[in-house]
Amino acid sequence: MKRDIIVNKFVIKFANVNGTGSASANKLFSRSVFRMGVPISPKNIFPSNIQGLPTWYEVRINDTGFLGRRGGIDVMVGMNPQSMARDIQEVEKGGYFVYDSTKPIDPSLLRDDIDFIGVPLTEKCREMYEDPRQLQLFRNVMYVGVLTALFDMELEVVKQLISEQFKGREKIVAPNFLAVETGYEMAKKLHACPIAYRVERRDNVGEKILIDGNEACGLGAVYGGATVSAWYPITPSTSVIDNFARYCRKYRIDAETGQKNYAIVQAEDELAAIGMVIGASWNGARAFTATSGPGLSLMNEFLGLAYFAEIPAVLVDVQRAGPSTGMPTRTQQSDVLSAAYASHGDTKHICLYPSTPKECFEYTALAFNLAERFQTPVIVMSDLDLGMNDNMSEPFTWDDAKLYDRGKVFKEEDLENMEERFGRYLDVDGDGIPYRTYPGTHPTKGAFFTRGTSKDEYAIYTENGEKYIENMKRLEKKWKTASHHVPKPVIRKTDKPCTVGVVHFGTSEASTLEALHHLNGMHGISLDSMGIQSFPFADEVGQFIEDHEYVFVVEQNRDAQMRSLLINEYEFDPECLVPILHYDGSPITARFIRHEIRDWILQTTTSPRRRSRFY
Amino acid sequence: MKRDIIVNKFVIKFANVNGTGSASANKLFSRSVFRMGVPISPKNIFPSNIQGLPTWYEVRINDTGFLGRRGGIDVMVGMNPQSMARDIQEVEKGGYFVYDSTKPIDPSLLRDDIDFIGVPLTEKCREMYEDPRQLQLFRNVMYVGVLTALFDMELEVVKQLISEQFKGREKIVAPNFLAVETGYEMAKKLHACPIAYRVERRDNVGEKILIDGNEACGLGAVYGGATVSAWYPITPSTSVIDNFARYCRKYRIDAETGQKNYAIVQAEDELAAIGMVIGASWNGARAFTATSGPGLSLMNEFLGLAYFAEIPAVLVDVQRAGPSTGMPTRTQQSDVLSAAYASHGDTKHICLYPSTPKECFEYTALAFNLAERFQTPVIVMSDLDLGMNDNMSEPFTWDDAKLYDRGKVFKEEDLENMEERFGRYLDVDGDGIPYRTYPGTHPTKGAFFTRGTSKDEYAIYTENGEKYIENMKRLEKKWKTASHHVPKPVIRKTDKPCTVGVVHFGTSEASTLEALHHLNGMHGISLDSMGIQSFPFADEVGQFIEDHEYVFVVEQNRDAQMRSLLINEYEFDPECLVPILHYDGSPITARFIRHEIRDWILQTTTSPRRRSRFY
Amino acid sequence: MSYKIPAFRHPNLPRNELGHTTKDYEGAVSTLCAGCGHDSISAAIIEACFQKNVPPHRVAKLSGIGCSSKTPTYFLGHSHGFNSVHGRMPSVATGANMANRELLYIGVSGDGDTASIGMGQFVHAVRRNVNMVYICENNGVYGLTKGQDSATTDLGSISKKGEPNALEPIDLCSIALQLGATFVANSFSGDKTQLVPIIKAAMAHRGFAFINVISPCVTFNNTPGSTKAYDYIRQHMASTNTVDYVPPADEITAEFPEGTDELVTMHDGSVINLHKLEKKHDIHSRSSAISLIQEYRAEDKVVTGILFIDEETQDIHETMNTTDRPLRDLGTKELCPGGAELDAINDLHR
Amino acid sequence: MSYKIPAFRHPNLPRNELGHTTKDYEGAVSTLCAGCGHDSISAAIIEACFQKNVPPHRVAKLSGIGCSSKTPTYFLGHSHGFNSVHGRMPSVATGANMANRELLYIGVSGDGDTASIGMGQFVHAVRRNVNMVYICENNGVYGLTKGQDSATTDLGSISKKGEPNALEPIDLCSIALQLGATFVANSFSGDKTQLVPIIKAAMAHRGFAFINVISPCVTFNNTPGSTKAYDYIRQHMASTNTVDYVPPADEITAEFPEGTDELVTMHDGSVINLHKLEKKHDIHSRSSAISLIQEYRAEDKVVTGILFIDEETQDIHETMNTTDRPLRDLGTKELCPGGAELDAINDLHR
Ligand SMILES: Cc1ncc(C[n+]2csc(CCOP(=O)(O)OP(=O)(O)O)c2C)c(N)n1
Ligand SMILES: Cc1ncc(C[n+]2csc(CCOP(=O)(O)OP(=O)(O)O)c2C)c(N)n1
Ligand code: SF4
Ligand code: SF4
Ligand SMILES: [Mg+2]
Ligand SMILES: [Mg+2]
Identical fold between A6-198 and A490-611: no
Confidence of residue D246 (pLDDT cuts 50, 70, 90): confident
Confidence of residue B42 (pLDDT cuts 50, 70, 90): very high
Domain boundaries, chain A: 6-198, 211-393, 408-487, 490-611
Pairs across C and D, CB distance < 8 A:
66
Determine whether the interchain pair C98/A276 forms a contact, defined as Cβ–Cβ distance below 8 Å. yes
Least confident of A45-59, A216-230, B348-362, C266-280: C266-280
Cβ of C274 below 6 Å from ligand 3? no
For residue D246, which residues of chain A lie inside 8 Å, CB to CB? 19-20, 50-51
Distances (CA, A) of A27 to A202, A391, C93, C221: 19, 12, 43, 66
Whether the pLDDT of residue A68 is over 70: the answer is yes
**How many other C-beta atoms lie within 10 A of the C-beta of residue B429?**
11
Q: What is the CATH number of domain B490-611?
A: 3.40.50.920
Confidence of residue B559 (pLDDT cuts 50, 70, 90): very high
Helices (H), A464-585: 465-483, 509-519, 539-546, 561-569
Cβ of C218 below 6 Å from ligand 3? yes
Residues A408-436: tens digit of each pLDDT: 999 999 999 999 999 999 999 999 999 99
Cβ of B233 below 6 Å from ligand 1? yes
**Nearest CA residue ID for atom 5, ligand 4:** D32
Q: Is residue C61 within 8 Å of C42, Cβ to Cβ?
A: no
Cβ of C281 below 6 Å from ligand 3? no
Residues B306-350: tens digit of each pLDDT: 999 999 999 999 999 999 999 999 999 999 999 999 999 999 999
Q: What is the pTM of this model?
A: 0.96
% pLDDT > 90, chain A: 87
For residue D33, which residues of chain A lie inside 8 Å, CB to CB? 19, 50-52
Task: State the Cα–Cα distance between residues A521 and A512, nearest whole angstrom.
Answer: 15
Distances (CA, A) of C191 to C23, C47, C71, C213: 21, 13, 18, 10
CA distance B191 to chain A (A): 35
Confidence (pLDDT) at D232: 58
Question: Higher pLDDT residue, B347 or B167?
Answer: B347
For residue A304, which residues of chain B lie inside 8 Å, CB to CB? 293-294, 297, 322-324
Determine whether the interchain pair B22/C244 forms a contact, defined as Cβ–Cβ distance below 8 Å. yes
User: Which atom number of ligand 2 is nearest to the Cα of residue A295?
Assistant: 1
Contacting subunits of B (3+ beta carbon pairs below 8 A): A, C, D
Round to the nearest angstrom and report the end-to-end CA distance of chain A: 49
Cβ of C190 below 6 Å from ligand 1? no
Determine whether the interchain pair B277/D95 forms a contact, defined as Cβ–Cβ distance below 8 Å. yes
For residue D132, which residues of chain B lie inside 8 Å, CB to CB? none
- Per CB distance under 8 Å, which residues of B are interface residues toward C? 18-24, 27-28, 47-55, 82, 132-134, 136-137, 165-166, 169, 172, 232-235, 238, 266, 268-270, 294, 324-325
Cβ of B234 below 6 Å from ligand 1? yes
Residues B416-473: tens digit of each pLDDT: 999 999 999 999 999 999 999 999 999 999 999 999 999 999 999 999 999 999 999 9
Q: Is residue B260 within 8 Å of D321, Cβ to Cβ?
A: yes
Task: State the Cα–Cα distance between residues A151 and A200, nearest whole angstrom.
Answer: 8
Task: State the Cα–Cα distance between residues D58 and B587, nearest whole angstrom.
Answer: 51
Confidence of residue C220 (pLDDT cuts 50, 70, 90): confident
- Find the residue in D nearest to B437 (Cα): D80
CA distance A192 to chain C (A): 31
Determine whether the interchain pair C319/D166 forms a contact, defined as Cβ–Cβ distance below 8 Å. yes
Domain B211-393 = CATH 3.10.20.30: no
Report how far ligand 5's centroid is from the alpha carbon of D70 (Å): 38
Q: What is the mean pLDDT of chain D?
A: 88
Mutation target among C126, C168, C239 for the D interface, most CBs of D within 10 A: C168
Least confident of A71-75, C306-310, C314-318, C342-346: C314-318
Whether the pLDDT of residue C240 is over 90: the answer is no
Mutating to test ligand 4, I would choose from D31, D36, D40 the residue with most ligand atoms within 8 A of its C-beta, which is: D36
Confidence (pLDDT) at C222: 64
Fold of domain B6-198: Pyruvate-ferredoxin Oxidoreductase; domain 3 (3.40.920)
Mutating to test ligand 2, I would choose from D142, D150, D154, D212 the residue with most ligand atoms within 8 A of its C-beta, which is: D142
Looking at this protein, which amino acid is placed at residue A485? H
Determine whether the interchain pair B327/A47 forms a contact, defined as Cβ–Cβ distance below 8 Å. no
% pLDDT > 70, chain A: 98
Confidence of residue B302 (pLDDT cuts 50, 70, 90): very high
Cβ of C139 below 6 Å from ligand 1? yes
Cβ of D70 below 6 Å from ligand 4? no
Distances (CA, A) of B464 to A176, B88, B306, D71: 35, 70, 21, 21
Q: What is the mean pLDDT of chain A?
A: 94
The secondary structure of A578-615 as a DSSP string is EEEE--SSSPPBHHHHHHHHHHHHHHHTTS-S--GGG-
Q: What is the ipTM of this complex?
A: 0.96
Q: Domain C27-348 is classified in which CATH homologous superfamily?
A: Thiamin diphosphate (ThDP)-binding fold, Pyr/PP domains (3.40.50.970)
Residues B230-245: tens digit of each pLDDT: 999 999 999 999 999 9
Domain boundaries, chain D: 27-348
**Nearest CA residue ID for atom 1, ligand 4:** D143
Name all residues whose Cβ lies below 6 A of ligand 2: A 232-234, 270, 294-295, 298, 325; D 65-68, 86, 110-113, 137, 139, 141-145, 150
Report how far ligand 5's centroid is from the alpha carbon of A268 (Å): 24
CA distance B29 to chain C (A): 13
Q: Which of B507, B591, B593, B599 is nearest to B236 (CA)?
A: B507
- The mean pLDDT value for D250-278 works out to 86
For residue D324, which residues of chain B lie inside 8 Å, CB to CB? 257, 259
Within 283-322 of D, beta carbons closer than 8 Å to C belong to: 287, 290-291, 294, 314, 319
Looking at this protein, which amino acid is placed at residue B482? A
For residue A271, which residues of chain C lie inside 8 Å, CB to CB? 88, 91, 121
Determine whether the interchain pair A583/B326 forms a contact, defined as Cβ–Cβ distance below 8 Å. no
- Find the residue in C nearest to B134 (Cα): C233
Task: State the Cα–Cα distance between residues D77 and D75, nearest whole angstrom.
Answer: 6
Cβ of D125 below 6 Å from ligand 4? no
Task: State the Cα–Cα distance between residues A31 and A34, nearest whole angstrom.
Answer: 5
Cβ of C139 below 6 Å from ligand 3? yes
Task: State the Cα–Cα distance between residues C90 and C107, nearest whole angstrom.
Answer: 8
Q: Which of B338, B305, B347, B300 is nearest to B319 (CA)?
A: B338
Confidence of residue D228 (pLDDT cuts 50, 70, 90): very low
CA distance A334 to chain B (A): 5
Task: State the Cα–Cα distance between residues B257 and D256, nearest whole angstrom.
Answer: 50
Mutation target among C91, C111, C121, C123 for the D interface, most CBs of D within 10 A: C123
Distances (CA, A) of B121 to B58, B79, B179, B186, B491: 21, 10, 10, 9, 50
Cβ of C155 below 6 Å from ligand 3? no
Residues D142-192: tens digit of each pLDDT: 999 988 889 986 655 544 444 444 677 899 999 999 999 999 999 999 999
Three-class DSSP labels, A402-423 = CCCCCCCEECHHHHHCCCCCCC
Angle between helices B121-128 and B170-190 (to 10 degrees): 140
Mutating to test ligand 3, I would choose from C32, C42, C137, C267 the residue with most ligand atoms within 8 A of its C-beta, which is: C32
Task: State the Cα–Cα distance between residues D154 and A38, nearest whole angstrom.
Answer: 47
User: Which atom number of ligand 3 is nearest to the Cα of residue C220?
Assistant: 2
- Find the residue in B nearest to C147 (Cα): B233
Q: Which of D136, D154, D250, D123 is nearest to D195 (CA)?
A: D136
Cβ of D32 below 6 Å from ligand 4? yes
Whether the pLDDT of residue A522 is over 80: the answer is no
Whether the pLDDT of residue C200 is over 60: the answer is yes
Q: Which of A107, A141, A106 is nearest to A121 (CA)?
A: A141
Determine whether the interchain pair C94/A225 forms a contact, defined as Cβ–Cβ distance below 8 Å. no
